[in-house]
Structure 1
Amino acid sequence: MSKIPVYFMPGLAASPAIFERIQLDEAVFEVFMLEWEIPFAKEPLSDYALRITKNIKHDNPVLIGVSFGGILVQEMSKHIATRKVIIISSVRSNLDFPRRMKIGKTTKAYKLIPMKLILNIENLAKFSFGEKINKRIKLYEKFLAVRDLNYLQWAVESVICWDRSEVDESVVHIHGDLDDVFPIKYIKNCIIVKGGTHIMILNKYKWLNENLPSIILED
């Protein structure tokens, strides 16, 4: 029996190291890690997604994305056939955005974010992973891979201005009830992880290791 190819996409500015605790049965699954590439100037998210699909070497893969990576794998699935798309700590459409993000789009307030300041590791960690991490900055130095100003400006604008307003019901959404970036009260029809925060890929890995295989395999 051929193994099921599973491709993981990390969150905004993060490295594939965020998946180091995720373990899938090697007899059933073959795991691959995708990485962020620096976008071209004013590159549309759809074009960027097409470019990242060039790194996928299998037919009908499973795509799993975290946070902004969850948005990206949904865009990638427009360009290639997939067995399944799973998002973690993310959103299935811009209707799931919290009010502050919707206001940010309307007012273009995101253009005022001082990106050079965010490139400081502590600020970038807060920006990418949420607020409650001061004690763990050293840990995140390992997980934050992309510190490029152009990437960061592009990524923030790509999230805030994501134009998907209709949910793809085939996308499986796993979300923590304590997520402070995409609060659960704005999220509909997801698999809820009790106590899961925006970084539950790191600290709820036991739940994910127990449940991801059946989520991937179920029809």
Structure 2
Amino acid sequence: MNKLPVYFMPGLAASAAIFERIALPEDVFEIHLLEWEIPLANESLAEYAQRITKKIKHEKPVLIGVSFGGILVQEMAKYIDAKKVIIISSVKSNLEFPRRLKVAKATKAYKLIPMSLILNLENLAKFSFGEKINHRLKLYEKFLSVRDIGYLEWAVEKVILWDRTVADDQVVHIHGDLDDVFPIKYIANCIVVKGGTHVMILNKYKWLNTNLPAIILEDKAIAE
């Protein structure tokens, strides 16, 4: 039996180490971890998505992305025939953005964020994982591997200026009801994880390990 290839894309500035507790049945699935690359000069999100897509070596893979990685895998799906696209702690269109992101886009306030300050580990952890992180910074140091100012400026702009206004109804969305980066009140049509925060890939891994196999293999609603 051929195993089903599942490619995981981490969140903004994060490394694939965030998936270290994710375990899928090895007789059914083959896990592949993607990492962020430093963007090229003036590279669009579409061009970047195409470049990362070249790292996928299997036909009809499952793409799973967390946060900004969820946005990226949706863009990648334009260029390959994915069996399924699953996003975690992310958004399906810019209509699901909280008001502060919409204001940042309208005012271009994101251009005023001093990325050099965000490179401080605690600030980067809050920026990437949300305000409600605990302060186990040694833990986050392991997960936040991309500390390049050019990447951060590019990534923040590409999130805020994401132009998708119509959600793909084939995308499977898993979201925590305590997510403070993308609050649940703005999110439609998702599988809700009770108590899940923006870092639930780290602290709700047992729920994900229990439910992801069925979510990948079928479209039935998953019990909370």
Residue 118 of structure 1 aligns with which residue? Answer: 118
What is the percentage of aligned positions where both structures have the same residue? 78
Cα RMSD after superposing both structures: 0.6
Whole-Å separation in 2 of the counterparts to 1:22 and 1:165: 31
Deviation at 1:136, TM superposition (A): 1.5
Question: Aligned ranges for residues 6-85 of structure 1 at < 5 Å?
Answer: 6-85=6-85
Residue 133 of structure 1 aligns with which residue? Answer: 133
Whole-Å separation in 2 of the counterparts to 1:188 and 1:32: 29
Secondary structure of 1:126's counterpart equals helix
Deviation at 1:121, TM superposition (A): 0.8
Letter in 2 for 1:28: V
Whole-Å separation in 2 of the counterparts to 1:93 and 1:10: 18
Secondary structure of 1:7's counterpart equals strand
Residue 5 of structure 2 aligns with which residue? Answer: 5
Whole-Å separation in 2 of the counterparts to 1:141 and 1:68: 19
Residue 168 of structure 1 aligns with which residue? Answer: 168
Whole-Å separation in 2 of the counterparts to 1:24 and 1:7: 12
Secondary structure of 1:25's counterpart equals coil
What per-residue deviation string (whole Å, max 9, x for no partner) do you get for residues 52-97 of structure 1?
0010000000000000000000000000000000000000000000
- Number of residues of Structure 1 aligned to a counterpart in Structure 2: 219
**More displaced 10-residue stretch of structure 1: 124-133 or 166-175:** 124-133
Residue 94 of structure 1 aligns with which residue? Answer: 94
Letter in 2 for 1:152: L
Residue 148 of structure 1 aligns with which residue? Answer: 148
Residue 214 of structure 1 aligns with which residue? Answer: 214
What's the TM-score, normalizing by structure 2? 0.97
Deviation at 1:134, TM superposition (A): 4.2
Cα pair 2:132 2:180 within 8 Å, conserved: no
What per-residue deviation string (whole Å, max 9, x for no partner) do you get for residues 26-71 of structure 1?
0000000000000011210000000000100000000000000000
Letter in 1 for 2:179: D
Cα pair 2:176 2:197 within 8 Å, conserved: yes
Deviation at 1:114, TM superposition (A): 0.7
What per-residue deviation string (whole Å, max 9, x for no partner) do you get for residues 160-181 of structure 1?
0000000000000000000000
Whole-Å separation in 2 of the counterparts to 1:137 and 1:109: 28
Residue 222 of structure 2 aligns with which residue? Answer: none
Q: Which runs of 5+ in 2 are unaligned?
A: 220-224
